[in-house]
């Protein structure tokens, strides 16, 4: 890679930062990507699972094919970074670094055009709607792997909090499943001065929130990683009126289907029992939003070797701790062998360490070169040049 090629990747990243879309509404982003990739000589197929696209490049005679995947969508957050390339789209910003992921793939495409030293096919998959966890399924349902057969798929996500340019990965589950729940408690409201005449869903709801914390502490195997979080508590009351209804919403994270089932069953049992004991009723809705992202063991070894060759052994952790965050890359990995990794962006806030999903987050351009170098070495490893 040359200084000029890294400068192009930085420019692409900053252009993409200015035009974020939300979920499936990423037409502007897709048009930009298609224009750049077409200019680099890649074959671009658009409109897969909405505005998803796939760019392909073939060299040599091998039938082997691999895919590298990037997410495309931003978040419904008003940006406050103050950078000169801030989002032009009100109420939307790339607060999770997907602009950086796309730029890394564009930089990889640029480098492969200039030095296509591989034998086989590379597909670059640009996926919409990762944040709501619907884009991977949409692309799969739209025939992604029928139209673009592959032997393996790889992806990465930037991660503030680990050193810039380091790669962390692991065999098995690397990111958790995410489930959501809503508990709607129906009591009887009334005047705040006469609580003896009401069935107070606010007090009942507080009891439920507290009791749900026992699920992890007293129901799940202590060696398992599980999170149960109540994130919203909504009432229809007023300053001087006890509410008639309370809504509790929350989020759970697990790594196995068995733990997910245990958590759902305990939420239902605890909430229903407490609500009924207080003379109220409730409705409970429990949905599964993301499945776990599980890395193929063999591909994890391949990824780790490539990362070490590109970045040095000291920059690679091939057995990192799993993360409780979720990613719909796991849906791809359920269909074809897959492996996902984290790319460190830094540990200091303001210099790569600002947390994801913050309104002042900005991808650290200094790690673009590491991401591109890693992907190029991975392609060379997977698609060795024919003798």
What residue ranges of the chain are covered by domains with CATH 3.40.630.10? 3-175+292-382
Residue 69: predicted pLDDT:
98
Residue 324: predicted pLDDT:
96
User: For residue 289, what are its two tokens?
Assistant: 């939003």
State the sign of the Cα–Cα–Cα–Cα dihedral 286, 342, 106, 22: positive
Q: Is 173 helix (H, G, I), strand (E, B) or coil?
A: strand
Candidate from 84-88, 115-119, 245-249 with smallest mean pLDDT: 115-119
Question: What proportion of the chain, given as a percentage, has pLDDT over 70?
Answer: 99
Residue 117 binned pLDDT confidence (cut-offs 50, 70, 90) = confident
What residue ranges of the chain are covered by domains with CATH 3.30.70.360? 177-290
**DSSP structural state of residue 266:** H
Residue 65 in this model has a pLDDT that exceeds 80 = yes
User: What does the pLDDT average to over 6-26?
Assistant: 98
The backbone torsions φ and ψ at residue 5, rounded to the nearest 5 degrees and listed phi first, read: -70, -35
- Taking only the tens place, the pLDDT of each residue in 133-178 is 999 999 999 999 999 999 999 999 999 999 999 999 999 999 999 9
Scored b (16 or more CB within 10 A) or e, 228-255 reads: bebeeeebebeeeebbbbbbbbbbbbbb
Containing H/E element for 123? strand 120-127
Residue 2: predicted pLDDT:
85
The backbone torsions φ and ψ at residue 303, rounded to the nearest 5 degrees and listed phi first, read: -60, -45
Terminal alpha carbon distance of the chain: 24
Residue 3: predicted pLDDT:
86
Residues 63 and 55: their CA atoms lie apart, in Å, by 17
Residue 114 binned pLDDT confidence (cut-offs 50, 70, 90) = confident
Residues 370 and 364: their CA atoms lie apart, in Å, by 11
Q: Are 198 and 236 in contact (CB under 8 A)?
A: no
User: What does the pLDDT average to over 337-355?
Assistant: 96
Residues 189 and 49: their CA atoms lie apart, in Å, by 46
CATH number of 3-175+292-382: 3.40.630.10
The CATH number of domain 177-290, selected from 3.30.1550.10, 3.40.50.300, 3.40.930.10, 3.30.70.360: 3.30.70.360
Q: Are 177 and 287 in contact (CB under 8 A)?
A: no
- Taking only the tens place, the pLDDT of each residue in 175-190 is 999 999 999 999 999 9
Residues 385 and 379: their CA atoms lie apart, in Å, by 10
Residues 285 and 290: their CA atoms lie apart, in Å, by 16
User: For residue 98, what are its two tokens?
Assistant: 């997907």
User: What does the pLDDT average to over 128-136?
Assistant: 97
Residue 205: predicted pLDDT:
98
Apex 189 CA angle, 188 and 192, nearest 5: 140
Residues 119 and 384: their CA atoms lie apart, in Å, by 6
Residue 385: predicted pLDDT:
59
Q: Which residues pair with 74 in a beta bridge?
A: 22
Residue 314 in this model has a pLDDT that exceeds 50 = yes
Nearest to 330 by CA among 145, 123, 177, 139: 177
Average pLDDT, the chain: 96
Residues 244 and 156: their CA atoms lie apart, in Å, by 47
Residue 386 in this model has a pLDDT that exceeds 60 = no
Look up the pTM and report it.
Answer: 0.93
Residues 322 and 295: their CA atoms lie apart, in Å, by 11
**DSSP structural state of residue 366:** G
Find the Cα–Cα–Cα–Cα dihedral 38, 44, 47, 48, rounded to 10°: -150
């Amino acid at each position: 890679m040359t200084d000029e090629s890294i400068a192009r990747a930085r420019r692409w990243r900053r252009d993409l930062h200015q035009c974020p879309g939300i979920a499936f509404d990423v037409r502007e982003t897709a048009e930009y990507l298609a224009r750049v990739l077409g200019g680099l000589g890649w074959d671009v197929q658009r409109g897969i699972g909405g505005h998803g696209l796939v760019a392909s490049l073939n060299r040599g005679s091998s039938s082997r094919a691999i895919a590298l995947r990037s997410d495309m969508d931003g978040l419904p957050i008003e940006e406050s970074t103050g950078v000169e390339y801030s989002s032009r789209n009100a109420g939307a910003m790339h607060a999770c670094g997907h602009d950086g992921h796309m730029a890394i793939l564009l930089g990889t495409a640029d480098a492969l055009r200039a030095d296509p030293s591989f034998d086989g096919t590379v597909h670059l998959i640009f996926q919409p709607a990762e944040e709501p966890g619907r884009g991977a399924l949409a692309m799969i349902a739209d025939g992604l792997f029928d139209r673009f057969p592959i032997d393996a798929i790889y992806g990465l996500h930037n991660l503030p909090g680990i050193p810039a340019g380091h790669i962390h990965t692991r065999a098995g589950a690397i990111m958790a499943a995410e489930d959501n729940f809503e508990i709607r408690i129906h009591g009887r409201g009334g005047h705040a001065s006469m609580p003896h005449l009401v069935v107070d869903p606010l007090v009942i709801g507080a009891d439920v929130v507290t009791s749900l914390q026992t699920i992890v502490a007293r129901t799940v195997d202590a060696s398992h990683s599980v999170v149960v979080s109540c994130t919203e508590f909504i009432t229809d009351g007023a300053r001087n009126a006890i509410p008639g209804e309370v809504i509790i919403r929350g989020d759970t994270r697990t790594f196995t289907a068995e733990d997910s089932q245990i958590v759902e069953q305990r939420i239902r049992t605890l909430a229903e029992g407490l609500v009924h004991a207080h003379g109220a009723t409730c409705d409970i809705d429990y949905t599964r939003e993301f499945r776990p992202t599980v890395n193929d063991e063999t591909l994890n070894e391949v990824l780790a070797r490539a990362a070490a060759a590109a970045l040095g052994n000291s920059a690679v952790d091939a057995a990192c701790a799993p993360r409780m965050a979720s990613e719909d890359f796991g849906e791809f990995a359920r269909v074809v062998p897959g492996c996902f990794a984290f790319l460190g962006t830094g540990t200091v806030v303001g210099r790569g360490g600002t947390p994801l999903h913050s309104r002042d987050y900005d991808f650290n351009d200094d790690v673009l070169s590491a991401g591109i170098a890693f992907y190029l070495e991975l392609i060379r490893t997977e698609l060795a040049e024919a003798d």
